[in-house]
Amino acid sequence: MTDKMKVNVTSEFGELEGVIVHTPGLEVEEMTPETAKRALYSDILNLSVASEEYSQLKGVLSQVSKCYEVTDLLAEILKTDQVRQDLLQEICFQENAYEILPDLLDLKSPELARQLIQGVPIKRNNLTRYLSQERFSLWPLHNFLFTRDASMSFCDEVVIGKMANTVRDREALIMEAIFKNHPGIEATTLNSQKPGNIPVSKNISIEGGDFQVARKDVLVIGTGIRTSTQGIDFILESIKAKKEPIRHVLIQELPDMPESFIHLDMVFTFLDRDACMVYEPLILGTTRYHTIHIQIENGEVTKIEEEKNLVKALKKLGIDMEPIYCGGRNDNWTQEREQWHSGANFFAIAPGQIIGYERNVNTVEELNKHGFEVIKAKNIIDGTSQIPTNKKCVITIAGSELARGGGGARCMTMPFRRKNVQW
């Protein structure tokens, strides 16, 4: 990375200019059926197949934007002795692994970056470690291919996630270190664990899958098993501290079950200025899950009220979205099946130009009915197809294996720079 890029994200669908990804590596395979649950997986992925599918996502992203790998960015910042010392101290303290700190400090930066993500094997050089049932002193980051969750961009800031599960805490530490120290990125970070003058609660959790930027003045945030109400209150306090003109936060309550409802972006994603993908039974149907609008003006909450649903709440704010149904309109079972495999989880590379799984055939067909040209990612990569200029399209990537990991294209991308959208 040579030119310094300033963080700027004022919508979910502005033309993409900078994105961070993590191609799945050995960390995905370093689990057993017994440890998969601890790693937050319900199944074990085949790395060779998942990597081939992931290459389609990265291949498209690399054609439209600057695309950076977490491992490369991490290796670059670890060349600075103070950054290396500070990050390793924090990781080893947090994971009760101080005994391996000297060994880690001696590693060359690329190897250290690899081990921090793929795991640090345990050295069986005393009785405790010899008898230990553990395989690693620092466990692999099995979920880091879902780069969305550990950090989230909003305007010129990056909110550092407070992960709901401690097995993912290191992801947030790494992303914060990258955004604070990489010479090619200009960003201000906001961290609920280092809040400055912002009040915090011990029950805070917030992950990027629940955090969506509708417009510069409108955030949409889900609350459920991964993002707590206290996490959203921290965001509200940070907005209040800026004492800006009117700002809006729309909150969508999510069920605890099934696990496919883990984040808001599994049931709702923005596609364009005037279109969104929804899992209709939850977002538009009659449910007991609240949709709440909070308005903030000049540092004070001036309104907090319940809305009928997310789409209607956005329309009141001048964001008129046509909902497109995950799984199509014909069959509730089909909607449920495709939502399970991230059928509502799309990533926009530009207004009306989105990436998603080809396996969700009814969802893709429904998009096509709404004017989205269907293009296979592999055809864009090999040059037999082109991304049309200023036309709606859905670029489909293979996802027979990746989808089993519990996330889609939005989950696997962390955009930190987009062009502003003209409304």
27-31, 308-312, 419-423 — which is least confidently predicted?
A: 27-31
Structure tokens at 162: 């407070």
In a domain, 160, yes or no: yes
Q: What percentage of residues in the chain have a pLDDT greater than 90?
A: 85
In a domain, 293, yes or no: yes
Which amino acid, one-letter code, is at 16?
A: L
Confidence of residue 406 (pLDDT cuts 50, 70, 90): confident
As a whole number of angstroms, the distance between CA 79 and CA 92 comes to 18
| Mean pLDDT calculated for residue range 310-320 | 98
In a domain, 99, yes or no: yes
* 41 has a pLDDT exceeding 80: no
* 150 has a pLDDT exceeding 70: yes
Q: How far apart are the first and last CA of the chain?
A: 31
Q: What is the average pLDDT score of the chain?
A: 94
In a domain, 423, yes or no: no
3-state secondary structure of 386: coil
* 170 has a pLDDT exceeding 90: yes
CB 311 within 8 A of CB 299: no
Domain containing 175 equals 5-418
86-95, 144-153, 196-205 — which is least confidently predicted?
A: 196-205
Cis preceding linkage at 24, omega within 30: no
3-state secondary structure of 228: coil
As a whole number of angstroms, the distance between CA 323 and CA 282 comes to 12
In a domain, 93, yes or no: yes
In a domain, 81, yes or no: yes
Q: What's the number of domains the chain is made of?
A: 1
pLDDT at 186 (0 to 100): 95
In a domain, 14, yes or no: yes
As a whole number of angstroms, the distance between CA 145 and CA 47 comes to 12
Confidence of residue 33 (pLDDT cuts 50, 70, 90): confident
The CATH number linked to 159 is: 3.75.10.10
In a domain, 200, yes or no: yes
Handedness of CA 25, 27, 32, 35 (dihedral sign): negative
pLDDT at 2 (0 to 100): 54
